[in-house]
A and B are shown apart, each in its own frame.
Chain A
Amino acid sequence: GNSVTQMEGPVTLSEEAFLTINCTYTATGYPSLFWYVQYPGEGLQLLLKATKADDKGSNKGFEATYRKETTSFHLEKGSVQVSDSAVYFCALSDRGFKTIFGAGTRLFVKA
């Protein structure tokens, strides 16, 4: 079945460091891919998405490219801020409308 695997956390970075959170997926079809973010005490929010191969999703300085050949959707940001501290979830959605989430990666950014 479909699944999502993302790197384990926590990830601890200093402010202005470069961020990569790895995500790979297994899917039988051509799913849409998403990154969701959960800030402390808040609900899940959609951060960015990509709906087909080679699409790049971007938002708030974060980017991720849908790589079909490597079945990956890695999240990157060039310069993180303390306010980016949160839990990040990679997810996929197939035509059955069911969204499958990874286990989440907690990011701590130190000032």
Chain B
Amino acid sequence: GAGVSQSPRYKVAKRGQDVALRCDPISGHVSLFWYQQALGQGPEFLTYFQNEAQLDKSGLPSDRFFAERPEGSVSTLKIQRTQQEDSAVYLCASSLGARDSNQPQHFGDGTRLSIL
């Protein structure tokens, strides 16, 4: 399809394990965002890429969280030594524009991460 694709849809991991979440943005979209959505809450910003450059990572909650977009398309969000408070839905969004805040963001269906 032509939308943002995230995988896996569901991920269950034991506390202390590392996980990797993948995002395939819409082809040609310059901007890519990661959000964390806790149950019953709105998405909270984690990090932003413009092409391959990570321009804002102010929302990453700790140094256990790491994101990359090496070729300016697919992005991976990695969480090391997972903890129970990492359980959430992780959303990826892409946007056509670079510095234009008027561009809408297109969201994937998210990855629901559960840490046991």
A-side residues, CB < 8 A to B, are: 4, 31-32, 34, 36, 42-46, 49, 51, 89, 91, 93-104
Known contacts A42-B109, A97-B48: A89-B42 contact under CB 8 Å: yes
Write out, one digit per residue, whether chain B residues 41-65 have a CB within 8 A of any chain A CB (1) or not (0).
1111100100000001011000000
9 closest A-B pairs by beta carbon, nearest first, are A101-B42, A44-B107, A43-B109, A46-B104, A43-B107, A93-B101, A51-B102, A103-B42, A101-B43
Interface of chain B: mostly helix, strand, loop or mixed: loop
Query: A97 CA to B48 CA in the complex, in Å?
Result: 8
Query: A101 CA to B89 CA in the complex, in Å?
Result: 15
Query: A99 CA to B101 CA in the complex, in Å?
Result: 9
Number of interface residues of B (CB under 8 A): 27
Query: A59 CA to B31 CA in the complex, in Å?
Result: 25
The number of residue pairs between A and B whose CB atoms lie closer than 8 Å in the complex comes to 61
B31 CB contacts on chain A under 8 angstroms:
97
Query: A34 CA to B102 CA in the complex, in Å?
Result: 10
Select A34's contact among B4, B45, B58, B104, beta carbons within 8 Å. B104
Query: A31 CA to B93 CA in the complex, in Å?
Result: 19
Query: A36 CA to B106 CA in the complex, in Å?
Result: 10
